[in-house]
A = this chain, B = another copy of it.
């Protein structure tokens, strides 16, 4: 039996240790530390936004970003926010917590990103923003989205948690949003275990974000005019994220190499693979996904179990938001199907992309994936 092959494995340099030791030696481990400031400066610059605000994770980033926008732009309760149905729950949950209504748009069948041709049919006079999510490392098609947002006077919330360092037509992901959010979860191209950041070029919005993430403290300490959260990040987390950011080009190069090898090895299986490139971007492979063809009598759950028997970890795709039991119970759903999201959930899973994978291991994984179809 081969050793267990995890779906992700981060890589560190000596820099992470150096920065962490510096936190301890200087005594600065809290949210006022210098690595917090450095990360906010370096990461916003890297993404062509003016300001950054470190937070405790990517879900927290969406919570404060949406709360801050609702406050600054005076969105009424139950205003509508457009969100891809094929997505993690965070953005939709943020809407609920902020008394806004999430409205779900189906995925595009090849890229798995939001289907830009289906956005306008969901826009109503109550719509205030579009949450764009660059699914699995391939950017959403931003040009039509920006155009729709302009036409209908909508804000863009760019959830780039899966697209660190990725570009769309040469422009960095994270640079398109009125507000952009990132996660630094363990499996991300830039990680600190748990962490996140919100970027914006609007100083007023930044101030609101910093207010809501810090329990709505003001200079009149302990007197509260609003409710927020403690979503602050520690200097320890920022130290590691700073070191990771310095190494991002190498990380992306390695992920692209792995993606390219998989493309070649798996090109003959009866499945759609993560798209390698479109006319606007090259995939940077946050993950490598496989969606089994409809007519093949095996679904993702079965594939995942079979791979597990071979000691290969794989993961399911997102479960569509428009079918979530919790949203059914809240009564916020229409009865429309979003067939693409449903199909790619049913048939999709992703495979190991650890930074230390060897060619031998990749060949082993490929062999076992081929066996699924025998």
Contacts and interface: CB of A to CB of B under 8 A. Distances in A.
A283 interface: no
Q: Identify whether the interface residues of A are mostly helix, strand, loop, or mixed.
A: loop
Contact of A90 (B191, B230, B237): B230
A126 to B, nearest CB: 22
Given A29-B186, A90-B215, A215-B59, A234 B195 contact: yes
Interface residues of A, number: 61
A195 B215 CA distance: 15
Interface string A186-208: 10000111110000000000000
B194 A232 contact: yes
A223 B326 CA distance: 9
Nearest to A321: B224
A88 interface: yes
Given A10-B29, A57-B232, A215-B89, A315 B221 contact: yes
B240 A29 contact: yes
A115 to B, nearest CB: 20
Contacts of A329: 225
A332 to B, nearest CB: 12
Contacts of A251: none
Interface in A318-340: 318-319, 324-326, 329
Interface of A: 9-12, 16-17, 20-21, 24, 27, 29-31, 33, 56-60, 88-90, 93, 96-97, 185-186, 191-195, 215-216, 221-227, 229-237, 240, 315-319, 324-326, 329, 345
Given A29-B192, A237-B237, 15 more contacts: A9-B27, A12-B27, A20-B21, A20-B236, A29-B186, A31-B193, A31-B194, A89-B227, A193-B235, A194-B233, A223-B325, A224-B324, A225-B326, A234-B236, A236-B237
Contact of A12 (B24, B185, B224): B24
Number of identical monomers bound together in the oligomeric complex? 2
Contacts of A191: 29-30
Contacts of A224: 89, 319, 324-326
Given A192-B234, A194-B232, A316-B222, A27 B56 contact: no
A247 to B, nearest CB: 13
Contact of A10 (B27, B229, B234): B27
A256 to B, nearest CB: 21
Given A234-B237, A236-B240, A193 B29 contact: yes
